[in-house]
Amino acid sequence: MTRPSSSEIDDSTDTFVGWVDESPGRGTLGLIVTCLFTIFLCTWVVIHPRVCKRSLLRVLHKIALFLKCLFAPEFIAVEGLQEWKQAQKMVRDCSGLTGESLKLVHAFYIGMLALRYRTTRGEKVIWPNQYTWLLREGLIQWEDHRQWGLSEEIIRDKSNADGTAKLLALVQVSWFAAQSIMRQAHALPLAQLESMTLSYIPLFAITYLFWWVKPKDVLTPSIVDLPNMSEEQLSIFESMAVSNVFDNEGIGRQDSLWSIWYLTPRVFEKEAEDRAAHEAQQKPCQDDEEGPTQQIERAANLNARVSSHLAKQTVVAHWDPDLYRSKFLWPVTCIFGASFGALHLVSWDTRFPTLVESWLWRTAALASVMSILIFMQFEKVVLKRGGLMTIISLVSPLVYLLSRIIMIGGVVAAFRASDPAIYKTYVVSTYWVHIM
């Protein structure tokens, strides 16, 4: 049986078409390949993973990030913003200590777990707040940063950013966006897959902007020896570690395959834990007759219980407090977060095989917008039992995930019976050279 080409299909209001062969206009295969290629560029190319010493973990971590970008690009964009905020803070904190020589590229490099120190058991991560503390205490000097593998030349040499891939992504994404705008200007509908592809572009752009100077695909960390420190200084330094999950000493969950799914912890999370422990210790003692020894023991036990409780928490999301409380940045962040689902609504009037599928698509797109906006109103979401607000904070990401699955299913199902108008072209497009 011969399939119709785009020049042969009937554009009547009651007709649907299945697979359409390539022609001087558009065909199903070309449409699918172009959209998938654009989505790939908006996800795989934009990924800037943290440093993993084991090659297997490095590959699996990048695949995990790719899947996160594919199913929840909003969260990767917000993660990029939070990394940029942390890097900016480190640059400010170290400005007077380095003569303003520590730049964003250095802060990103340290923040992606690329700076580590040797121990008797292996290696441990030097976190941004630890490096800042070493500078502040005069234990290291910025003049020696080259010996620590922190010169810009060394970092850029380790980075595997591909200028050709960046250029290809820019050209392809620009072309796709321009084509979509021109189709709308000519009153031609977009396929559901095109609407989904279009939704990735703003988030791709904003994420790439935040990670523009961040090193990409660094294979090996810089491993150094810590300067000589007293026991008290070493204790303070080690207590500032944000997490030990990414250390390489063969302890507990370190170097686990599960770690590929973990987001890189942020310094503000450690600061929040320290504040919680401090506030707990400041609570008045129930027994006023406690002696100094009992008070010290009580404080130590309380600190241990608070640390144990925080360690057992399953944190679903935790936004940077400075970002969350910003009257400008956070509303803008929420708008970008909602943009992915909102751009799916470009296909609101696109014809679906059935009325049920049409309204399922519309409802899922609206649900994704509302659920992500609700979810982003909670500064910290922890998996635990609680009241109504806790339930809402935990249910909203599930609603979002369900809506994404429905929309992806709708995209696939729509190709069995599509609006023939999605294969119609306007005159100018016939002179464009399609990249794919």
Output the pLDDT for position 226: 95
| Alpha-carbon radius of gyration of the chain | 26
Instruction: Give me 287's structure tokens.
Output: 């027994």
Other beta carbons less than 10 A from residue 46's beta carbon: 25
Contact 368, 411 (CB under 8 A): no
What are phi and psi for residue 52, nearest 5 degrees? -120, 125
What does the DSSP assignment read for 139-204? SS-GGGTTTTT-SHHHHHHH----HHHHHHHHHHHHHHHHHHHHHHHTT-PPPHHHHHHHHHHHHH
Output the pLDDT for position 250: 80
Question: Per-residue confidence of the chain (436 residues) as pLDDT tens digits?
Answer: 445 555 555 554 558 888 888 777 788 999 999 999 999 988 888 889 999 888 888 899 999 999 988 888 888 888 899 999 999 999 999 999 999 999 999 999 999 999 999 999 999 999 999 999 999 999 999 999 999 999 999 999 998 877 677 788 888 899 999 998 998 888 888 888 999 999 999 888 888 889 989 999 999 999 999 999 999 999 999 999 998 889 988 877 777 778 888 878 888 888 877 777 666 666 554 444 555 555 445 545 545 454 454 445 677 788 888 888 888 889 988 988 898 889 888 888 888 888 999 999 999 999 999 999 999 999 888 888 888 999 999 999 999 999 999 999 999 998 888 888 888 887 654 444 444 4
Instruction: Give me 125's structure tokens.
Output: 């991560």
Distances (CA, A) of 146 to 95, 153, 155, 159, 290: 17, 9, 10, 16, 53
State pTM to two decimals.
Answer: 0.83
Distance separating alpha carbons of residues 52 and 246, to the nearest angstrom:
8
Output the pLDDT for position 280: 63
What are phi and psi for residue 247, nearest 5 degrees? -75, 165
Output the pLDDT for position 187: 85
Output the pLDDT for position 143: 93
Output the pLDDT for position 127: 96
Other beta carbons less than 10 A from residue 256's beta carbon: 11
Output the pLDDT for position 434: 47
Output the pLDDT for position 432: 45
Output the pLDDT for position 282: 62
